[in-house]
């Protein structure tokens, strides 16, 4: 049987782990994974090929393109917002030049195979840039075309990459005698902060919520770097994976946009702490805002309007705030750190 070959970049990251778990369950799929770091054993075992390498390495991408016929590319590799702010030129290289390289790989593949290649891209709420907290509160649920004035290198990179996706989908080499239009089918979701029970994020600015939870589960204190009243949207990792897979599978004619907001719940940092204490009563969190990281989070919306994703491709998160904790995060995190349940503590 001919298998669908899927390329996943940044495969060893948070989203990569969950995505590969899911993709590997489907029959007729083979995964080629690439990451800067050696792949975790559990993930590596599920891949047809697991390559340690750099998306800035043209030679490596060319070899990949010669060796495989890719159907879909999930381009997850990126430097997140805090890390990108500390190393802006490196961030630009990885986030923008890296994405351009992958889009070029996609277009080469479409020429070689004579068909469209799907390019699935996780964008972010970091593309938004609200000027101050008062405007943030007043704006409520932000729509895709509002406040697209990011103040971070990461947000700027993501917003520009969305535009590159539009260019490669609709206008690529438009002056050619026979323009190769529509050869890349770019689809993106603007993710909120993601919370996974299985992995801890690194280098992000929404990391305060997952860090708080993972520290509590290990009975370790945590200094939260934002104010208690800080509010941004979050999503449980299984819903993020589901969103990528559903958007990938949606018929193109149902989609009016290339990039969609997706949200699930939007607790304040204080509400996250209160919810964690229900299950880990000894959790100790101090709120010690880092003014510079606070300004970044304050520029992100307190919620997103994801009605277009819901209408056009049936986006429908399974986990609201309470369910995310009671049915996914708490049981899985106890399992991970082998923490006895509240009942056993009594
Ligand atoms: C980050 O904090 O940089 C990311 C994001 C919101 O995209 N988690």
Residue nearest to ligand 1 atom 7, measured at CA: 124
Within a domain: 12: no
Within a domain: 62: no
**Structural domain of 152:** 78-337
Tokens linked to 170 = 């609709």
For residue 345, the model assigns a pLDDT of 39
Does residue 154's CB lie within 6 angstroms of at least one atom of ligand 1?
yes
Distance from C-alpha of 18 to C-alpha of 220, rounded to nearest angstrom:
26
For residue 177, the model assigns a pLDDT of 87
Tokens linked to 80 = 């997140």
Tally of domains within the chain: 1
Does residue 263's CB lie within 6 angstroms of at least one atom of ligand 1?
no
Helix (H) or strand (E) holding 342: helix 342-345
For residue 318, the model assigns a pLDDT of 98
For residue 339, the model assigns a pLDDT of 63
For the chain, 346 residues long, give each residue's pLDDT as a single digit of tens: 678 999 999 999 999 999 999 999 998 999 999 999 999 999 999 999 999 999 999 999 999 999 999 999 999 999 999 999 999 999 999 999 999 999 999 999 999 999 999 999 999 999 999 999 999 999 999 999 999 999 999 999 999 999 999 999 999 999 988 766 558 999 999 999 999 999 998 999 999 999 999 999 999 999 999 999 999 999 999 999 999 999 999 999 999 999 999 999 999 999 999 999 999 999 999 999 999 999 999 999 999 999 999 999 999 999 999 999 999 999 999 999 976 655 443 3
For residue 344, the model assigns a pLDDT of 42
Within a domain: 114: yes
To test the pocket of ligand 1, the residue of 10, 77, 80, 235 to mutate (highest count of ligand atoms within 8 Å of its CB) is: 80
Does residue 125's CB lie within 6 angstroms of at least one atom of ligand 1?
yes
Torsion of CA 282, 284, 285, 286, to 10 degrees: 150
Write the CATH number for 278: 3.40.50.720
Within a domain: 141: yes
Distance from C-alpha of 179 to C-alpha of 318, rounded to nearest angstrom:
42
Within a domain: 345: no
Distance from C-alpha of 222 to C-alpha of 80, rounded to nearest angstrom:
21
Distance from C-alpha of 16 to C-alpha of 239, rounded to nearest angstrom:
14
For residue 180, the model assigns a pLDDT of 65
For residue 291, the model assigns a pLDDT of 98
Does residue 155's CB lie within 6 angstroms of at least one atom of ligand 1?
no
Within a domain: 344: no
Distance from C-alpha of 333 to C-alpha of 211, rounded to nearest angstrom:
12
Within a domain: 67: no
Predicted TM-score of the model (pTM)? 0.96
């Amino acid at each position: 049987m001919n298998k669908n070959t899927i390329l996943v970049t940044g495969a060893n990251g948070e989203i990569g782990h969950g995505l590969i778990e899911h993709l590997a369950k489907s029959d007729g799929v083979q995964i080629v994974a690439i990451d800067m770091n050696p792949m975790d054993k559990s993930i590596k075992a599920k891949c047809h090929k697991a390559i340690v390498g750099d998306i800035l390495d043209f030679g490596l991408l060319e070899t990949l393109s010669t060796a495989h016929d890719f159907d879909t590319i999930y381009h997850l590799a990126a430097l997140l917002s805090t890390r990108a702010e500390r190393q802006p030129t490196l961030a630009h290289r990885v986030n923008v030049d890296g994405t351009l390289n992958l889009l070029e790989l996609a277009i080469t593949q479409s020429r070689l195979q004579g068909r469209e290649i799907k390019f699935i891209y996780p964008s972010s709420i970091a593309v938004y840039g609200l000027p101050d907290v008062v405007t943030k509160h007043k704006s409520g649920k932000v729509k895709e075309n509002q406040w697209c004035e990011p103040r971070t290198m990461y947000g700027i990179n993501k917003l520009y990459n969305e535009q590159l996706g539009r260019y490669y989908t609709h206008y690529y080499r438009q002056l050619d005698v026979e323009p190769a239009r529509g050869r890349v089918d770019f689809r993106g979701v603007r993710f909120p902060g993601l919370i996974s029970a299985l992995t801890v994020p690194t280098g992000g600015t929404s990391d305060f919520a997952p860090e708080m939870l993972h520290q509590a589960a290990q009975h370790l204190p945590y200094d939260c770097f934002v104010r208690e009243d800080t509010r941004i949207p979050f999503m449980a990792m299984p819903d993020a994976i589901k969103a990528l897979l559903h958007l990938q599978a949606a018929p193109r004619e149902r989609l009016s946009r290339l990039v969609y907001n997706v949200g699930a719940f939007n607790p304040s940092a204080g509400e996250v702490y209160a919810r964690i204490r229900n299950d880990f009563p000894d959790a100790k969190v101090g709120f010690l805002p880092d003014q510079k990281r606070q300004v970044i989070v304050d520029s992100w919306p307190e919620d997103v309007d994801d009605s277009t994703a819901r209408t056009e491709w049936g986006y429908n998160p399974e986990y609201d705030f309470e369910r995310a904790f009671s049915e996914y995060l708490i049981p899985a995190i106890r399992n991970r750190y082998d923490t006895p349940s509240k009942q056993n503590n009594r």
